[in-house]
Amino acid sequence: MLAILLFLPLGLAAAETGIDAWLRYAPIPDAESYHGSIPSIVVALNDSQISPVYTAGQELQQGINGIFGKDCTVQYEGGDGPSVTVGTVAGYAETGGSIDELPELVDDGFYMSTVGGEALILGQNERGALYGAFHYLELLAQGNVTELAFASNPDAPIRWVNQWDNLRDGGTHGSIERGYGGHSIFFWDGVVRDDLTRASQYARLLASIGINAVIVNNVNANETILNETNLDGVARIADAFRPYGVQLGLSLYFASPEALGGLDTFDPLNDTVVEWWNDKTNQIYEKIPDFAGYLVKANSEGQPGPITYNRTLADGANLFARALKPHGGIIMFRAFVYDHESLNQTLNWKADRANAAVEFFDGLDDQFEDNVVVQIKYGPIDFQVREPVSPLFTHLVKTPVTVELQITQEYLGQQCHLVYLPPMWKELLDFDLRVDSQPSPLSSILNGQRFNRKLGGYAGVVNVGLNETWLGSHLSMSNLYAYGKMAWDPTSSPEALLNTWTKLTFSHDQEVIDTIADMSMASWPAYENYTGNLGIQTLTDILNAHYGPNPASQDGNPWGQWTRADATTIGMDRTVWNGTGFSGQYPSEIAAQYESPTTTPDNLLLWFHHVPYTYRLRSGQTVIQHFYDAHYAGSATAQTFPTQWSRLQGKIDAERFEAQRFRLEYQAGHALVWRDSINNFYHNKSGIADQQGRVGNHAYRVEAEDMALDGYVPYAVSPVEAASGGYCIVTSDNSTRGAASVALERWESGRYDVAVNYYDLAIGNSTWELWIGEEMVGEWKGDLEYRIGKAPVFYIDGQTATRITFRGVEVTKGDVLKIVGVPDGQEPAPVDYISVLPEGVVD
């Protein structure tokens, strides 16, 4: 080891996997100069190993050691010399400490003082003490040793994480539904894993950002989670969480009394059903005394629920609420309720999935038990790149609510696209819903202040997996970090959070911080630009993996994510006067704003209105030209990401640098796939030309189907816009090697960036070679299914379309460019086109 270290060039960081995320406690610049001002004794006022205060002591020791290279001891009662004392307010008072002057703390809150060369960290409860310790370490890890004394209280009591983990692999989603970071850290083969190391590590990460509970299994729940073996297993997960103050909760399958209990009904008003749930709940609390509660998805997307028996959603929620109440647990009842089978757009212009939540919950506000919390997705449809805030937040006045956010990027690039989400969350949380014409920002509804409620808060669908990066990509972890921080304090600035995260995760180097900030802050607007604009939704393939462009998939099916695009018009008319009436679900001021296209913000125009492609936006541009321009602009921004990232080479460890470089290159290529697919689609539909003449005109491209083919044959791609020119080439069978060639007569001799657009399917690992004349420029494999974790796709379409670029390639006029494709498995080495681009040109 020593020998290896000696040979590391100065400044080159050691390889890192990402497993410690933002809790690396890496040595900071000039660490030794701080030694005098950092205490070397930690006093933890609880020596029980399951206590978060004990954990805080261990963490402080590890942190001070790592950050400053300073030895530090932990003791469990006061000692001599300057120390960091951590405990609860009550525990501190017991040791004789004075608490008279302390500011007011609420549950989970903490007080911290670093005045006079000592640190005092006091939690209102045990986990509050741990939160304080993490906060202190976060300051130290940034080299911040200023004297401070302050209290920090969470904005809302519910700061939960939902994991959509299945108990076993299989079905359409593998082990985590919409998870892109590998297998479940909790379950394997139908049961809880023996080794729960990752569960502890996860709890540590979550505690450091103030998360206080995790629902460990999928909302599309399986009844076997409640069998004896699994409850014992789940209790072991709770044991792993406990030292971090993270509570455990479970998603329930509504029909469990029948499916698991052998009853002949799951009617929520049936006595035997009530008794079954009471017994089950009591059994859970025997095993897990600090069990957090339940999460229930009912009567949605094929899930059973109370409506199956003509009972109300309140009847369903109260069933669990009553079982939990004696134990102090809560039930999170999801508002994501809609009946996809009854949606029929062709017949009914008024049908609208967006209306469903309010329609299902109206009239129930005063019928829920007081430990029911309704969990509402931020928008009325489903985690789209832009949605208005769900109006249901204004309909429930007595009933506490949480907002459901998605950290896993289901519709937002599945961690293969950099999309920093907090700027979107901030817009949503700050949005003033004007209930009764009074200030009503969403955050004030969540924290209970607006309607005077005690409960409420945040639920984030995270879906980390066994992959050591947790989410599948290093940069995606900024979303998780910021989620916890914003749930604690929704006034936090997304950019400030990001900068702190970068410092903790990567480096104190200003160029690293600024580069990651520039890229991340540009990423959501860019993604919106190259996917779906003006509130039309993400336009991803909603019938398959929710990845890649497929605008046609939105319409003509009962899933209700409609765009109603035809040859001349586009958008959902959600007005009261002429449309689905959705805009009328908002309080009057907001309803009036959304009712008219002239007062609806451009970025939601097509969410609320059905207009001609030639409709002029407030910007003065037409809808269709805005589409074209935005797709060019957004994808151009994505091209800058790999270039910006490349400046960080040598400034962060090679392992994480390279892993992210690969993803950003991939994103840059896929952004162009998006741009062309969407632009071609609406160009084909509307017949309206791009004023700038870009759409459909690609001066530096050669279609694969126009090249001289040997062993390759043309193949018509569906959807047609997912291939340049509508066709790609595939090998004539899955054992024949194909070659496609073209003489580069149109190009003068010089240096070019050569891009190849191909399709990487999850059913084989073809090999491609790119030759210019006698030189092999590059060789690559279609193995993205192992490399980037997005949902596997088996089709030649916008989800599998991929671009690889070789930069600075010497070309002599007339050289023959040749692609050789070797199929593998069922993947026929498909190629769409090649582009030979003068340096600096992107197309």
Residues 337-376, one symbol each (x = binds ligand GCU by CB under 6 A, - = not), give: ----------------------------------------
How many residues of this chain bind ligand GCU (CB under 6 A)? 8
| Cβ 338 vs Cβ 329: under 8 Å | no
What is the C-alpha separation between 722 and 548, in angstroms, rounded? 9
Q: Is position 674 an interface residue for ligand GCU (rule: CB under 6 A)? A: no
Closer to ligand GCU by CB, 607 or 632: give it: 607
Residue 382 lies near ligand GCU (rule: CB under 6 A): yes
* Least distance from ligand GCU to the Cβ atom of residue 343, Å: 14
* β-strand pairing of 149-152 with 816-822: unpaired
Binds ligand GCU (CB under 6 A): choice among 105, 119, 214, 219: 219
Q: Quick one: 70 exposed, middle or buried, by C-beta within 10 A (0-12, 13-18, 19+)? A: middle
Task: Determine which one of 352, 382, 404, 703 is catalytic.
Answer: 382
Minimum CB distance to ligand GCU smaller for 92 or for 336: 336
Of 129 and 376, which CB lies nearer to ligand GCU in the complex structure? 376
Is 178 one of the binding residues for ligand GCU (CB under 6 A)? yes
Give the distance, in angstroms, between the CA of residue 812 and the centroid of all CA atoms in the same chain: 46
The distance of closest approach from Cβ of residue 451 to ligand GCU in the complex, given in angstroms and rounded to an integer, is 25
In the set 258, 410, 541, 629, the catalytic residue is 410
Interaction between residue 721 and ligand GCU (CB under 6 A): no
* 832 forms part of the interface with ligand GCU (CB under 6 A): no
Task: Measure the CA–CA gap between 334 and 763, rounded to whole angstroms.
Answer: 36
Residues 59, 108, 138, 177: which binds ligand GCU (CB under 6 A)?
177
Q: Minimum CB separation from ligand GCU for residue 382, in Å? A: 5
Residue labelled with tokens 């400044």:
11
3-class DSSP assignment, residue 80: coil
CB of 220 to ligand GCU, least distance (A): 5
Nearer to ligand GCU, 297 or 818 (CB): 297
Other beta carbons within 10 Å of 49? 10
| Joined tokens for residue 29 | 């610049």
Residue of 301, 370, 589, 710 marked catalytic: 301
Q: Is the sign of the CA dihedral 622, 624, 628, 630 positive or negative?
A: positive
Task: Give bridge partners of residue 757 from the DSSP assignment.
Answer: 803, 833
Name the minimum Å distance from CB 173 to ligand GCU.
7
CA angle, 677 then 682 then 688, to 5°: 130
And the tokens for 334? Answer: 């999801």
Residue 672 tokens read as 């162009």
410 in catalytic set: yes
Q: Which of 193, 198, 204, 297 binds ligand GCU (CB under 6 A)?
A: 297
Sign of the four-CA dihedral 361, 366, 372, 378: positive
Report the residue from 336, 458, 628, 645 that binds ligand GCU according to the rule CB under 6 A: 336
One character per residue 406-445, x = contact with ligand GCU (rule: CB under 6 A)? ----x-----------------------------------
What is the enclosing helix (H) or strand (E) of 820? strand 816-822
Q: Nearer to ligand GCU by C-beta: 236 or 340? A: 340
Q: Is residue 267 part of the contact set for ligand GCU (CB under 6 A)? A: no
Q: C-beta of 334: minimal distance to ligand GCU in Å? A: 7
Asked if 80 is an active-site residue, the reply is no
Quick one: three-class SS letters along 424-444? HHHHHHHCECCHHHCCCEHHH
By residue count, the chain amounts to 843
Q: Which is nearer to ligand GCU, 46 or 218 (CB)?
A: 218
State the nearest-atom distance from the C-beta of 198 to ligand GCU, in Å: 23
- Return the structure tokens found at 409: 């990027």
CB of 179 to ligand GCU, least distance (A): 10
- Of 547, 594, 603, 588, give the one whose Cα is nearest residue 575: 594
Q: Please, are residues 728 and 830 in contact by the beta-carbon 8 Å criterion?
A: yes
By rule CB under 6 A, what string of x and - marks binding of each residue 479-518 to ligand GCU?
Answer: ----------------------------------------
- Whichever of 276 and 559 has its CB closer to ligand GCU, that residue is 559
Q: Kindly state the smallest distance separating residue 251's Cβ from ligand GCU, in Å.
A: 10
809 binds ligand GCU (CB under 6 A): no
Residue 94 CA to residue 126 CA, distance in Å, equals: 14
Rounded Cα distance, 132 and 123, in Å: 7
- Cα distances (Å, whole numbers) of residue 140 to 36, 117, 541, 680, 775: 13, 13, 45, 52, 53
Contact between 255 and 299 under an 8 Å Cβ cutoff? The reply is no
Give catalytic status of residue 301 as yes or no: yes
Catalytic residue ranges:
301, 382, 410
Query: Which residues in this chain contact ligand GCU in the complex, by CB under 6 A?
Result: 177-178, 219-220, 297, 336, 382, 410
